[in-house]
A = this chain, B = another copy of it.
Amino acid sequence: MTAENEGDLPDDGRSRRAQARRERARANILAAAVEVFSTSGYHQSSISDLHQAAGIARGTFYQYFESKNAVFLELMDELLVQLRSSVVGVDTRPGAPPVALQLYQTVRRILEAASQNRALTTILMREAVGLDEEVDRRLAEFYDSLHAWVVLALENGRASGLVRDGVDVEIAATCVIGSLRFVLERAWAQSDGGDADLDLDRMARAILDVTAFGLLARK
C-alpha cells in the first residue's frame, strides 16, 4: 500500500538516504547547540540562538527537537554514555595488570572522555542541575551508578585486604568522585592552555595518590 511496495530497490535507497539526511540534520543541530551552550551558557541561549547557529529555519528546529531541553537531554545522554563506558571493573585475575595501574587507567580514561567533550562536560557540571526533572533524574542516576561502582571497588579491595579497615565506604566513594569532579572543574576554570596531556596525567596521579595514601606522614 505504501510507496516501498510499488517501487523497487531505489525506493529503499531513497528512504535510507532520507534517514541518513535526518541523522545528519540532527547531528548538525546537536553540534551547533554544544557550541551555543558553551559560549553563552544554557540559560542565556534561546531557541533562536540554536537554530541560527545550526543554520536552519526556526520551524526546522522543531522538526527534530521539541524544545531546547530535549536537545540538552540528548547531548547529556551522549556524554554520560561515554563517561560511563570509561569506567570498567578492576581485573583481579592472576596475570592481570597491577590494580594501581588499572585504577590509574580508569581515572585517566574518565578525564580524557571529559576533556574530549569539554564544552559539554562543563555545562553538565555547571548548569545541568535544576533545569528539568528529567535531566536531574538522569544526572542523579549517573552519579549514583558511578558511586555504586566506587563503593563496590572499595568493598572488593577491603575483602582482599587492599583497602584498610574502618573506612566509611559510602562517604569515601563520594570523596573520590567529588575530588575528581572538582579537580577537573578548577583545572578548566584556570586553563592556561598548557600541555593538556601532562595535566591529565598529573591530575590522575595526584587524585589517586591523595585518596590512596592520604595526606599525613607516617611515623
Contacts and interface: CB of A to CB of B under 8 A. Distances in A.
A193 interface: no
Interface in A121-178: 126-127, 129-131, 140, 143, 147, 154, 157, 161-168, 171-172, 174-175, 177-178
A210 interface: yes
* A interface bracket (residues with beta carbon within 8 Å of B): 35 or more
List the number of copies, as a whole number.
Answer: 4
Given A129-B127, A178-B178, A172 B215 contact: yes
Interface of A: 41-44, 126-127, 129-131, 140, 143, 147, 154, 157, 161-168, 171-172, 174-175, 177-183, 185-186, 189, 202-203, 205-207, 209-218
A207 B167 CA distance: 10
A90 B43 CA distance: 41
